[in-house]
Chains A and B, each alone.
Chain A
Amino acid sequence: MLSPFKATGTDAMSSSDNKPERTLADLGVTQPDQVVSLFAEVRARFDSQASRPLDHPSWEILRQSWLGRKSGALTLITENWLKAASPDLKRSVGQELNKLKAHLETTLDERKLDAQSLADHSVSIRERVDLSLPGVIRPIGSHHLIRQVFQEIEDIFFSIGFSVVEGPEIETPYYNFEALNIPEFHPVRDDMDTFYLDLPKGAKTPLLLRTHTSPMQIRTMEKQKPPVRVIVPGKVYRRDNPDATHSFAFHQIEGLAVDTDITFCDFTGTIEYFVKQFFGPSVKTRFRPSYFPFTEPSVEFDVSCPFCGGTGTASGGGTCSKCKGAAWIELFGAGMVDPAVYGFVNYDAKKTSGFAFGIGIDRLAMLKYGIDDIQVFFQNDVRFLRQFP
């Protein structure tokens, strides 16, 4: 039987000292103040035992010896002191007993938590999990990097009121060229080498693979009166021999905003907003006049190189490999919609204005993630796919 008053460890004392086993009369307690000091003595003994470092088993021993139902100190006190107390002492014994009980329970609860944490610290090395070993990895897939960039850009433009639309990849020359103010034999057609479909004889119109997402400018405006604010993600095709920077299929996002009061300032503001969201607020932007048949004024849009902070010098010295020391990176072409285009969609060019842009996604992704070969996007090697979870 466990008893806090029996000989255990350094607290050894004679069994004659085990006061709860004796009655109050036996102990010569007759006055209430003697009761109080007797309980104080018991409490001090508990406190001294409870103040020692405890692991879980020794905590359990402590608890049993004090609160154990059969022969714990508290049970003994109840039996020997309270029940056997003379009527004039019963009240003070009862009060003291309740106080002691509350103290024991509170202290033991606290010490249990301490014992637990001691236990956590002291499990054997053999039992301990080797956290450097892998857990059970359930195979998880991944978004393609191009898809991730699309999503990021779509979200930015969606947040400023651009709807998302899609269109056919197989187009007619009308939508891909003519309605965009690129008549046949226009020099710009030479820069967009085009795949044509082999159609049966007698086909009404030739079909081609769109060379840009811009045909959706026309298709959107045909369907909808201003205000128009759309972006068009999609695949486009140019008949270029594949190498590290060319693929005959690649990805673009077209943007178009047309209304009664859109100006060049709105255009540059929108583009700047996008770029600061995409590359971070510290990039600087610049617009260089350029030429596209379907925008006027047309611009090329540059950002200060986000990799060297627009200095042209790499952080470790030497020329920045991303901007090749130019401090600026050409991102994409854009401009105010050429009034000639409105003529093709029956908009009143005198009352309508707007802007359009076409962002090359593959190049942007290569730039942002340091990819030096566009072909990896289309090889779909799982070792590549894994790198962008």
Chain B
Amino acid sequence: MKVVYNWLKDFVDVAASPQELASRLALSGTNIGGVENGAHGAVIEAEVSSNRPDCLGHHGIAREAAAIYKLPLKHVSPKPVEGQAKAGDAVKVEIQSPELCGRFTARVMRNVKIQPSPKWLKDRLEASGVASISNVVDVSNYVMLELGHPLHTFDYDKVRDHKIVVRRAKPGEKMRTLDGIERQLDSNICMISDGDGSRAVGIGGIMGGGETEISFSTKNVLIECAWFEPVAIRRAARFLKLHTEASTRFGRGADPEMAEIASRRAAELILQLAGGELLAGVVDIYPGKRAAKTMRVTRAEILRVMGAEVPDKEVEASLGALGFAPVRIDQNRGAEGSLLAAWECTQPSWRADVEREIDLIEEIARIYGLHKFPPRLPAARQGAARLPHYEAETRLRERLIGLGYREILTIPHVAEERDALFRPEGITPARLSNPLSEEANVLRSTGTVTMAAALEWNLNHGQRNARLFEIGRHYRLNGSESFETRVLTIGATGEAREKGLYDSARDFSLADLKGDLDSIGELCGGFRWADGGAEWLHAARRGAVRLNTIISSEARNLSSLGVAGQLARRVAERLKLRQDVFLAELEIDAFYDTVRIAKNPRRYEPLPRFPSVERDFSVLLADGTKFSDVTKTIQSLGIGEIHSIEATDLFRGKSVPAGKYSLLVRVTFQSREATLTEAQINDFSGRIVGALGKQLGAQLRAQ
């Protein structure tokens, strides 16, 4: 709403500069977009909130200014000269849908002269951003901007039978509005029709039609000034996707009492600008007339909500200036500042938004000044709690960052076909019914789909090396129920170690991903790896990640956390990823639970007092024999002194026959009782070599 400073002065005699006025308005609840000095003086851009339709006109803003500066507000009481003939004989109005249209007033003017508007009117409209058309049309816009109430003018002679019928739209009814668009209607929409009601001449409170439009040949004018039910108007405007100055005002709740005053004001201006004769009286059908509501506000409640006193005279001045006519009604009404003070207030017709005590308190507070309530910090009454998984998540995040991963955040909206690349079978994604585009029509059903996109972005922007993680959610449907699951997603591509002064470059590999995940797994007592994984992962370089059963609780034992591996070439090519990409996705709630569970039973293990001894075994193994077969075989010997079994070298080719590989196994022995003797070590080694040979066919290579 553009507020023309000089226009405002028609109603309130403010001395403040436009800038100062704007800032005072802002601090009392009228949001200000800016102040501009144009050709017609200062214009304040007021961003009126949706609960304040009364401020969508200069008179309403003037009331605010009058309340702020404690100045009198000039009332609007137009007194146009009326002729002998009666309006009631010239026009008939019937409201068939009073639930949609609460009031309809009609005035008739004869022999007007349609011509361009005078300069002062054009200037004010121009300052308000409204184009001037002709004197009569301009008047209806002018009155709307002045009093906040929309009007509509008809060419009286084009209204069939000089009769208006207000009704619901009929099934299948269509109508061409002033903007030339034919609109499909529905039965909740209020129509203005003429004659027998069969022809629609306007959509009530939203836009008129072309047939009865004012033109330069118009002689006689019918002024409509009505009141429409706000919810119905909002529903209709949304249904029609047609938002107009009128629908905004009626939709937020216009002042039903203003309808007749605005009509009179329009007649006054038309007489002044277009001449002619105003028929006597008004046709005023007012089925929606309501008695004014009364409500109370008490000092006790002001104190309870606001936490500080407001003096009696400030309560009365603010409410009085805004039209609530406060009257003290308590026993102590002689006493200034009484804690028992209570005021009875009457709701003005333009403030349907104020109907409760709290609403009155807000009115008092905003005019009195919010800065007058002293800030203080309330005492805490109870301890504060972090999220249950706060510690686990913090440690996870720290560890990932230590491992070189950067945290990312992604938007879960993705293209359905992309989502499908990563979606496990049998999962229903959460599709949007009103996506912004087909590129963003489902919520991701896995974390990996957006992680892959983040890697893609980096590769496409020359960033070859990226190690990323995201702690977020994935979204799935089961029937009409939605499920959001917290997931950790990891993505890596490029070099694990970049070439530098001291190191050579090394590409990121599955072993890096596995090692990093196991470093995380340490927090929850370890991960177990199993064959398997997802279809979108490389068949030879993927695995399933599980919680270590020993640590996990009964509820989650053997719980599968997720998958990890190298992205299958088939998918990488679809995404145009031209280098190896590694991805992992873990459902993280089970992990968090287990981090908590694993933490408490941990106990200190005394450090060994005796030295440990290492022995290396270089063995030839058949392809397909796993390292876990080796460790199981060695462990099956039940040698309690074995502290660890590690693989320290692995190679194929050269002196190694085809179908075999060479593995260097390092076994560390440690006794808690004594220093191990050479004889003991030799005995253990012999048994190990024997078992590996017997059970796995392993041959010991020359050391």
Within 8 Å of chain A (Cβ to Cβ): is B374?
yes
* B362→A249 contact, CB < 8 A: no
A270: chain B residues within 8 A (beta carbon): 377-378
Q: A197-B433, A380-B468 are in contact. Are A169 and B386 (CB under 8 A)?
A: no
User: A339 CA to B362 CA in the complex, in Å?
Assistant: 13
Instruction: Report the count of interface residues on B (CB-CB < 8 A).
Output: 92
Least distance between A3 CB and chain B CB atoms (Å)? 47
Please tell me if the beta carbons of A336 and B457 are within 8 angstroms of each other in the complex: no
* CB-contact partner of B375 in A161, A164, A272, A383, under 8 A: A272
CA distance A43 to B366 in the complex (A): 93
> Chain A residues near B374 (CB, 8 Å)?
265
Instruction: Name A's interface SS.
Output: mixed
A187-B251, A287-B370, A288-B26 known; A197-B430 Cβ under 8 A = yes
Residue B184, interface by CB 8 Å: no
| Cβ-based interface call for A212 (8 A) | no
Interfacial residues of chain A within 241-299, with CB under 8 A of chain B in the complex: 241, 247-249, 257, 259, 262-266, 268-273, 286-291, 296-299
Looking at the complex, which one of B31, B306, B405 makes contact with A264 (CB distance below 8 Å)? B306
Q: Are B370 and A265 in contact (CB under 8 A)?
A: no
Closest A residue, CB atoms, query B376: A269
A272–B375 Cα gap in the complex (Å)? 8
Q: In the complex, what residues of A have CB within 8 A of residue B238's CB? A: 185, 190
Question: What separation, in Å, do the CA atoms of A158 and B383 have in the docked complex?
Answer: 9
Q: Is the CB of A196 within 8 A of B386?
A: no
Which residues of A are found within 8 Å of B434, using beta-carbon distances?
195-196, 239
Q: Is there a chain B Cβ closer than 8 Å to A309's Cβ?
A: no
**B240–chain A nearest beta-carbon distance, Å:** 13
Q: Closest CB of chain A to B494's CB: distance in Å?
A: 10
- Residue A332, interface by CB 8 Å: no
Interface residues in A291-339 by Cβ distance below 8 A to B read 291, 296-300, 336, 338-339
Answer whether residue A198 sits at the interface, using C-beta atoms and an 8 A cutoff.
yes
Asked whether B555 is an interface residue with its Cβ less than 8 Å from the other chain, the reply is no
Q: Could you give, for residues 160-172 of chain A, a 1 whenever the CB lies within 8 Å of some chain B CB and a 0 otherwise?
A: 1111111011100
* Segment among B477-485, B539-547, B685-693 that sits at the interface with chain A: B477-485
Q: How far is the CA of A287 from the CA of B303 in the complex (A)?
A: 19
Closest residue on chain A to residue B49 by CB atoms: A291
* Interface check A69, CB cutoff 8 A: no
B50 at the interface (CB under 8 A from A): yes
Convert B233-253 into 0s and 1s, putting 1 for each residue whose CB lies closer than 8 angstroms to a CB of A: 011001000000000000110
Q: Check B370 against A200 for contact (C-beta < 8 Å).
A: no
Report the nearest B residue to A207, measured CB to CB: B482
With A134-B501, A141-B405, A264-B373 known as contacts, the answer to whether A196 contacts B432 (CB < 8 A) is yes
Structural contact, B458 and A266, CB atoms closer than 8 A? no
> Which of A161, A286, A289 is within 8 Å of B366, CB to CB?
A289
Residues of chain A in range 219-240 having any CB-CB distance to chain B below 8 Å: 227, 229, 235, 239
A177 to B334, CA, bound (A): 45
Q: How far is the CA of A275 from the CA of B360 in the complex (A)?
A: 29
Residue contact B31 to A288, C-beta cutoff 8 Å: yes
**B387: A residues at CB distance < 8 A:** 164-166
When the two chains form their complex, are residues B454 and A197 in contact, meaning their CB atoms are under 8 A apart?
no
B373 touches A268 (CB 8 A): yes
* Chain A positions 183 through 217: 1 when the CB is less than 8 Å from some CB of chain B, otherwise 0: 00111101100011111101110010100000000
Contacts of A176 in B (CB 8 A): none
Within the complex, which residue of A139, A291, A338 is in contact with B404, where a contact is CB–CB below 8 Å? A139
- For window 659-701 of B, CB contacts with A under 8 Å fall at none
Using known A-B contacts A168-B484, A195-B432, A200-B480, determine if residue A268 contacts B375 with beta carbons closer than 8 Å: yes
B475 A185 Cβ-Cβ under 8 A: no
Min Cβ gap A277→B in Å is 11
Report Cα–Cα, A239/B434, bound state, in Å.
9
Inter-chain CA distance A136–B360, complex, in Å, is: 68
Q: A200-B479, A263-B305, A264-B307 are in contact. Are A286 and B378 (CB under 8 A)?
A: no
B454 contacts A141, CB within 8 Å? no
Q: Which of A191, A209, A286, A290 contacts B31 (CB 8 A)?
A: A290
Question: In the complex, which residue of chain A has the Cβ closest to the Cβ of B361?
Answer: A297
Q: From residue B100, how far is it (CB to closest CB) to chain A in Å?
A: 14
Are A296 and B358 in contact, CB atoms less than 8 angstroms apart? yes
A383 neighbours in B (Cβ, 8 Å)? 461, 463
Is B400 an interface position by the 8 A CB rule?
yes
Assess whether A138 is in contact with B413, with CB atoms less than 8 Å apart: no
Residue of chain B at shortest CB distance from A248: B436
The reply on B384 being an interface residue by CB < 8 A is yes
Contact of B401 among A140, A271, A290, A299 (CB under 8 A): A140
User: How far apart sit A336 and B406, CA to CA, in the bound complex (Å)?
Assistant: 39
Segment touching B, from A77-85, A97-105, A116-124, A143-151:
A143-151
- Which residues from chain B contact A196 at a C-beta distance below 8 Å? 432-434
- B365 within 8 A of partner (CB): yes
Whether B359 sits at the interface, judged by CB under 8 Å, is yes
Give A68 to B435 CA distance when docked, in angstroms: 91
- The answer to whether B403 and A141 touch across the interface, beta carbons within 8 angstroms, is yes
Q: How far is the CB of A222 from chain B (nearest CB, A)?
A: 18
Within 8 Å by CB of B406, from A195, A204, A386, lies: A386
Query: What residues of A have a CB within 8 angstroms of the CB of B382 in the complex?
Result: 161, 227, 229
**Which residues of chain A have C-beta atoms less than 8 A from B405's C-beta?**
141
Q: Return the contact of B362 from the options A263, A296, A353 (Cβ within 8 A).
A: A296
Q: Please give, as numbers and ranges, the residues of chain B lying within 8 Å of A241 by CB-CB distance.
A: 436
Chain A residues with CB under 8 Å of B370's CB are 264, 268, 287-289, 297, 299
Q: Is B407 an interface residue (CB 8 A)?
A: yes
Residues of A near B477 (CB, < 8 A) are 197, 199
Of residues 243 through 281 on chain B, the ones whose CB sits less than 8 Å from some CB of chain A are: 251-252
Contact residues in B for A265 (Cβ distance below 8 Å): 306-308, 373-376
Tell me whether B168 is interfacial, beta carbon within 8 Å: no
Question: Is B412 interfacial (CB-CB < 8 Å)?
Answer: yes
Chain B residues within an 8 Å CB radius of A200:
479-480
* A379 interface residue per 8 A CB criterion: yes
Q: B409 touches which one: A164, A297, A377, A381 (CB < 8 A)?
A: A377
A125 within 8 A of B: no
If A187-B251, A197-B477, A248-B436 touch, does A160 touch B377 (CB 8 Å cutoff)? yes
| Residue of chain A at shortest CB distance from B458 | A382
* B502 part of interface (Cβ distance < 8 Å): yes
A166 contact set on B, CB distance < 8 A: 387
Considering the chains assembled together, what is the distance between the CA atoms of A143 and B434 in angstroms?
33
Given A257-B378, A296-B358, A147-B409 contact (CB < 8 Å): yes
Neighbouring A residues of B479 by C-beta, 8 Å: 200, 203
Q: Which residues of B in the span 383-440 have a Cβ within 8 Å of any Cβ on A? A: 383-387, 390, 397, 400-413, 430-436, 440
Closest A residue to B483 by beta carbon equals: A170
Q: Does B196 contact A (CB under 8 A)?
A: no
Tell me, yes or no, whether B51 is within 8 Å of chain A by CB: yes
Q: How far is the CA of A241 from the CA of B31 in the complex (A)?
A: 25
Residue B27 lies at the interface, judged by CB distance under 8 Å to chain A: yes
**Closest residue of chain B to A349, judged by CB?**
B358
Return chain B residues, CB-CB under 8 Å to A139: 404, 467, 497-498
User: Looking across the interface, which residue of chain B has its beta carbon closest to that of A204?
Assistant: B480
What residues of chain A lie closer than 8 Å to B307, measured between beta carbons? 263-266
B469 at the interface (CB under 8 A from A): yes
Q: State whether A141 and B27 are in contact (beta carbons under 8 Å apart), knowing that A136-B503, A195-B435, A197-B433 are contacts in the complex.
A: no
A225 CB to closest chain B CB (Å) equals 12
Q: Give the 6 A-B CB pairs with smallest separation, nearest first.
A: A263-B307, A161-B380, A289-B29, A203-B480, A139-B404, A265-B307
* Cross-chain pairs A/B with CB under 8 angstroms, 30 sampled: A140-B404, A141-B401, A142-B401, A142-B406, A143-B407, A158-B384, A166-B387, A168-B482, A198-B431, A229-B380, A259-B381, A263-B307, A265-B307, A265-B308, A266-B376, A269-B377, A286-B371, A287-B370, A288-B27, A288-B370, A290-B49, A291-B49, A336-B305, A339-B356, A339-B358, A380-B410, A380-B454, A380-B468, A381-B463, A383-B461
* Given A197-B482, A290-B31, A382-B458, 16 other A-B residues pairs in contact with their CB atoms under 8 A: A136-B500, A161-B384, A185-B234, A196-B433, A197-B432, A198-B432, A199-B433, A202-B480, A207-B482, A209-B432, A239-B436, A249-B411, A339-B358, A378-B410, A379-B454, A380-B468
